[in-house]
Amino acid sequence: MGAVRETMRFPLLFASLLVCSVLVIYIISSQTEKETCTVPAEISSRKEHVINFRRFDSKDPAPTSKLGHKTGKTGESPFLSHAEKLFKLYDGVGTFVMFIGYPRSSHSLVGAILDAHPEIIIPHEYDLMAKWTKYQSSKLKEKNLQKYVLFYDLHQCSLEQSMFGIRAGNNNSLTTNISGGYNYNIPGLWQGSYQRRIKVIGDKKGGTTSMDLTRTSYWRILEEISQVVQVPMKFIHVTRNPFDNIATMMLHKTRSRDTVREEGVKINNSSALEAEIEYYFKLAASNQRVRERYGDAVIDTQGHETVLRPKETLQRLCDHLGVTCSEDYLEKCSRILYGAPSVTRDKAVWTEEQKARVTKMMKNYTFLKEYSFDKYPN
């Protein structure tokens, strides 16, 4: 017996070392690579509602149910029952939402808070417009699966981010530093999940979506998305004082954000500031076109209001999306919103001409008219 135990010891030791090595490699790669939207397989296999829709894209012929979905020979396989739960879940979605706006304007905060609602799924920066060709395969179209695969991907992206990503608790997050040290975890709510049903699903990639829509081809994509999701499309347009927004964009682009944390330090880089002024108003013009095209389907919300008046702001957003806000939801979201809105306009050196030009350009847009260089959030 002693000899048997001795011979078994080395294979067991080797297996243990192999498992440890794989875990170490996974953790290191997760910390160094950019955040993705795929749940690790060992976790996926344990989740009741997690299935791989790519299996529906198989080239092998298979019988279909009345719904047009694959079935096994009996039509009642466990795999199918899980799939049918998701088909029913995604068929219950009533609104598809997208963000438009500007970089550094509190989109991430607003998106994280909405994702915490028990009936809303909104992952952080999935970037649907860039990935749209993924949902245009002939197989998906033929089997009428475009909507289901899209909703599944958004759902799983939100789940991963709430477990390991930017919305995970500090003990689990592998990607906190990707957004400059910010963490958007809201304890006790529904980030990455839902309570009984999903009424709203969508994507938060505000500034990039707005920039995409400066090109005609992306308007066609937007129309295709609307046709695929088969529910009303709504937009959330988050604004911030342009002087703060432009200054923060410049500080981020020049990697000067940490430099100006010291009292009295300002960045004097007129050309960099000029580039961000031009970029900002390209986005403003694009957002105005979305507002003109979609009318009441677009809601304007000021980023500083999320911090100063969170309950009122969240109620407006929930009303726009057609969901109710419980007092528990409003209270738990409000707990993470504290302090004062970020003011960075004084961290950049503006010429008088730049200030006058930005002030004049702001007057072209109703959603920017009430801002000024001298007016601070209160």
Q: Strand 120-121: give its sheet, edge to edge.
A: 120-121, 200-203, 95-100, 233-239, 298-302
Tens-place pLDDT, residues 251-287: 999 998 888 888 889 999 999 999 999 999 999 999 9
Tens-place pLDDT, residues 312-360: 999 999 999 999 999 999 999 998 887 788 899 999 999 999 999 999 9
Among 50, 53, 49, 75, CA closest to 62: 75
State whether the Cα torsion 205-211-213-217 is positive or negative.
Answer: negative
pTM (predicted TM-score) = 0.78
CA distance 328 to 332: 6
CA distance 223 to 208: 17
Among 100, 181, 105, 102, CA closest to 341: 105
Q: Answer for the pair 159, 129: CB distance below 8 angstroms, yes or no.
A: no
- Looking up tokens 């970020």, which residue turns up? 342
Q: What is the pLDDT of residue 80?
A: 57
- Looking up tokens 């192999």, which residue turns up? 18
State whether the Cα torsion 92-114-290-283 is positive or negative.
Answer: negative
Tens-place pLDDT, residues 61-75: 333 333 444 444 444
Q: What is the pLDDT of residue 12?
A: 45
What's the DSSP call for residue 180?
Answer: T
- Looking up tokens 């007129």, which residue turns up? 270
CA distance 115 to 98: 13
Cα 328–Cα 126–Cα 320 angle in degrees, nearest 5: 45
Could you tell me which residue, 9 or 172, shows the higher pLDDT? 172
At 294, give phi and psi (nearest 5°): -105, -5
**Rounded (to 5) percent helix, strand, coil in the chain:** 55, 10, 40
> What average pLDDT does range 229-248 have in this prediction?
96
Written as six digits, the tokens of 181 are 């040290």
Mean pLDDT for the chain?
81
Q: What is the pLDDT of residue 173?
A: 64
Written as six digits, the tokens of 350 are 């503006």
The amino acid at 132: W
Q: What percentage of residues in the chain have a pLDDT greater than 90?
A: 60
Question: Which of 109-113, 168-172, 235-239, 374-378 has the largest mean confidence?
Answer: 235-239
At 51, give phi and psi (nearest 5°): -135, 165
CA distance 109 to 124: 10
CA distance 326 to 307: 19
CA distance 32 to 60: 38
Q: What is the pLDDT of residue 33?
A: 41
> Over 50: is that where the pLDDT of 110 sits?
yes
CA distance 78 to 82: 6
At 239, give phi and psi (nearest 5°): -115, 160
At 63, give phi and psi (nearest 5°): -65, 155
